[in-house]
Amino acid sequence: MADPTTPPTPLPRGIGRPATAALALEGIATLDDVRDRDLDELLRLHGVGPKAIRLLREALASTD
């Protein structure tokens, strides 16, 4: 669970507009939201491709 005193970490800008929109439709707006999801499942969303998943993995790894 995220620390309520820490501001949420936004999604990486480089994932692209289609991926950002697809994630938003699933209620995913921050890296904290992504952390609770299976990235392989997110890859199945229309608009979310391998590049977006790679960038999300990298962003998650850098915040751990």
User: What does the pLDDT read at residue 27?
Assistant: 96
Q: Confidence band (pLDDT; 50, 70, 90) for 1?
A: low
pLDDT tens-digit map of 9-55: 999 999 999 999 999 999 999 999 999 899 999 999 999 999 999 99
Residue 13 has which token pair? 């800008």
User: Is there a contact between 10 and 60 (Cβ–Cβ < 8 Å)?
Assistant: no
- CA-nearest of 41, 61, 51 to 15 is 51
User: What does the pLDDT read at residue 6?
Assistant: 80
**Domain 15-63 is found in CATH 1.10.150:** yes
What would the mean pLDDT of 5-10 be, rounded to a whole number?
86
Q: Which amino acid is at 48?
A: V
Give the residue extent of every domain in the chain. Answer: 15-63
Instruction: State the pTM of this model.
Output: 0.86
